[in-house]
Chain A
Amino acid sequence: MKGNRIAITGVGETPFLRKGAEPLMQMMVRASLAAIADAGLKPSDIDGYIGNRMTPGSDDLGPAIGMKDRAFSAVCDVAGGTASAGQALILAQLAIEAGLATHVLVPYGIQSTKPGGVYGFHAKEPLKAALEMPVGFFGQPTYFASMANRYAHDHGMSEEELASVAITYRKWAVITPSAQRREPMGLEEYRQTQMISTPLRVADCCLTTDAACAYVVSAVERAKDMPHPVVQLAGVGIGTNNFPHGVLFTQNPCTYEYPGEASAKKAYAMAGVDPKDLDLAQVYDGFSISALVQTEMLGLCERGEGAKFYHAGHAAPGGRMPVNTSGGHMSGGYVPGINLLIEGVRQLRGQEGERQVPDARICGVAGLGGNSHSTAILTRN
């Protein structure tokens, strides 16, 4: 697969809400229509659909948005940010280059307030139910907290350094009108948020959000005649490990070793660029610990230096490598992976007002989900 063949030509989303009134389907239709309109297209122009195993498929959503010919449809097999910020792009390029589709829609929605809660799927995993829940090892914040303590043991990490991840993203959210949490947060305000599992506080966790996002993918040649500056996919890579969900948080030899280096290596090679060429990055911030480790894996700093990188202010507004410029998942909104990819597209279009990164031409997007990871390199043509 070669880079610079497809472009993200339309993006759209619904408001990021702590608790929304609309069902998932309605939000996904709204986001899809917004993305299609942003691309200067009509719903009937969309002939490709890439869904997700967690959300409605094209059988239902296609008619609801007014698609006529669903010539190509596929479902991402992986979870979370890997799907919407990586695997969907690969599938879209395959479909477009094979001539199976002209404009491919990628929608993704989440209803964090659904019955059963955000951790309900963990309780259904037999190994967790039998071995972990009876001793209280349960829920993402607890899993990632145990990684953070091991990371601190291996590399050293002070409370202030860990806090600087959340504080950095909040600084971006303060200047992002659509962000879910915009009140300023310094170390004192960070310390006032509830501790969940040491060392992770509420402020170290992604938000719970009800919202949907969508984007449209088209061939680069076609994108040149569409409304926005061409933002193309220069490189993309997927990394995986062989630790299924039931053992991922305990038995991986290093529990915070996500397959991010492998995905970044593939994406950079395909794009023909280095980490130092990036103007900004979007990093999947389910938790502060996983964000800072992926920041290292993306090559923005050395391994073991992620927390210090944030603490030094490099990723903050005005820093040398802006990261999560709309507040990320921890302060902006949590629609796994896809709202970070969309922020990357908007930054490269160059019209983000106060938070615009000057002369942004190359953006790295890291997506984590389960035991897979994606890196996408977006460039402005």
Chain B
Amino acid sequence: MGIPNYPIHLEDPQLQGFYDGLAAGELRLTADPDTGEWVWYPPEVVPGKPDTTLEWRAVSPEGSAYTFTTVTRSLLPGDHREEVPFTVVLFESDDAPGCRVPGVLVDADGVEPRCGMRLRFRPVPVGDHVIAGFQPA
């Protein structure tokens, strides 16, 4: 299995918080500081609360796959033929059910991906950056 290699574009600077978390070995999601509720993905404006700045909070690295797909023809701009196949999962931490984090399935040789499979978060270095990875738990 391969690993996708595509640069991270942070047009919305608040999304840096996600990658600060990866650098620290943590999976961090955004929450509304007033209510404590998860607001994920972080929208440019919190619905109905334009003055609210979301907080990044670490969540449990343990969770499960809502769904997955194994990409055999990458549709990313540019030539990525060397990087396929890879499997993308939408991961839900046990601390934040319903908040899905896309990441790459790693260390899963011989494992058939499936919805509901138990996973553990693991940052994955790719070139000069780090992406979210998940390995079978």
State the A residues within 8 Å of B (CB). 117, 119, 123, 126-127, 129-139, 141-142, 145-150, 153, 194-198, 200, 244, 246-247, 250-251, 253, 255
Contacts and interface: CB of A to CB of B under 8 A. Distances in A.
A351 B24 CA distance: 67
Nearest to A151: B67
Given A129-B8, A136-B6, A196-B75, 12 more contacts: A117-B77, A127-B12, A136-B88, A136-B104, A138-B74, A146-B88, A153-B116, A195-B72, A196-B73, A197-B70, A250-B41, A250-B90
B11 A130 contact: yes
B69 interface: yes
Given A147-B67, A153-B115, A250-B41, A137 B88 contact: yes
B70 A136 contact: no
A150 B12 contact: no
A135 B99 contact: no
B18 A197 contact: no
A134 B72 CA distance: 16
A117 B88 CA distance: 22
B32 interface: no
Nearest to B134: A135
A89 B72 CA distance: 40
Nearest to B133: A135
A141 B11 contact: no
Contact of A134 (B71, B90, B116, B131): B131
Interface residues of B, number: 45
A131 B115 contact: no
Contacts of B18: 130-131
Interface in B1-45: 4, 6-12, 15, 18, 40-41, 43-44
Given A136-B83, A153-B115, A247-B41, A131 B67 contact: no
Contacts of A137: 88, 90, 102
Contacts of B70: 197-198
A258 to B, nearest CB: 16
Given A129-B9, A134-B4, A197 B69 contact: yes
B72 A131 contact: no
Given A146-B67, A153-B115, A153-B116, A119 B75 contact: yes
Contacts of A126: 9, 11-12, 15, 44
Contacts of B4: 134-136
Contacts of A138: 6, 74-76
Contacts of B118: none
B11 A197 contact: no
B6 A134 contact: yes
Contacts of B98: 251, 253
Contacts of B7: 134
Contacts of A247: 41, 43
B66 interface: yes
Contacts of B10: 129-130
Contacts of B129: 134
Nearest to A153: B115
B54 interface: no
B68 interface: yes
B114 A153 contact: yes
B131 A142 contact: no
Nearest to A124: B11
Interface centre among B11, B86, B102 (most CB of A within 10 A): B102
Closest 9 CB pairs of A and B: A139-B75, A136-B4, A153-B115, A145-B69, A150-B67, A129-B9, A126-B11, A130-B15, A198-B70
B68 A149 contact: yes
A3 B64 CA distance: 48
